[in-house]
């Protein structure tokens, strides 16, 4: 199964509101997280090589909270939720990677939302 995907600069990896059924690991390039606010995209943060995005897909049947767009030519590894569960079963330290990614994402989103409100 091909897990490696290449996105040209400006291409969407996923769109806000879509089912969250994949988790991504950025190999090369940069991905920007965007939320549509008042008909304009608001940048919530960016994901660089070695970092995970879409990790909220691991929690229940979620919809995407925001969109992810390649800020430059980007290469990722894409995993189905079930594949991640198998990886965690094989090596429990994998769970640390995803928990750390979730904690970082929550902090980043909290800062971005505070800036919007104030």
DSSP state of 58: G
Q: What is the CATH number of the domain that holds 52?
A: 2.60.120.10
Residue 4 has pLDDT above 80, yes or no: yes
Q: What is the pLDDT of residue 80?
A: 87
- Number of domains the chain contains: 1
> Which of 1, 6, 2 is closest to 26 using CA atoms?
6
Q: What is the pLDDT of residue 8?
A: 98
Q: Report the alpha-carbon distance of residue 101 to residue 79 in Å, rounded.
A: 15
Q: Report the alpha-carbon distance of residue 60 to residue 78 in Å, rounded.
A: 18
Q: Which domain holds residue 16?
A: 4-117
Percent of the chain's residues with pLDDT above 70: 82
- For the record, the structure tokens of 6 come out as 């290449």
């Amino acid at each position: 199964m091909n897990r490696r995907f290449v996105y040209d600069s400006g291409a969407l990896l996923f769109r806000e509101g879509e089912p969250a059924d994949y988790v991504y690991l950025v190999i090369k390039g940069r991905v920007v997280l965007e939320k549509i606010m008042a008909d304009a995209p608001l940048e919530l943060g960016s994901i660089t090589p070695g970092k995970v995005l879409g990790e909220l897909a691991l929690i229940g049947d979620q919809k995407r909270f925001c969109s992810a767009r390649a800020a430059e030519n980007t290469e990722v590894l894409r995993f189905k939720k079930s594949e991640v569960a198998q990886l965690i079963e094989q090596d429990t330290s994998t769970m640390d990677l995803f928990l750390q990614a979730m904690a970082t994402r929550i902090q980043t989103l909290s800062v971005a939302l505070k800036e919007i409100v104030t």
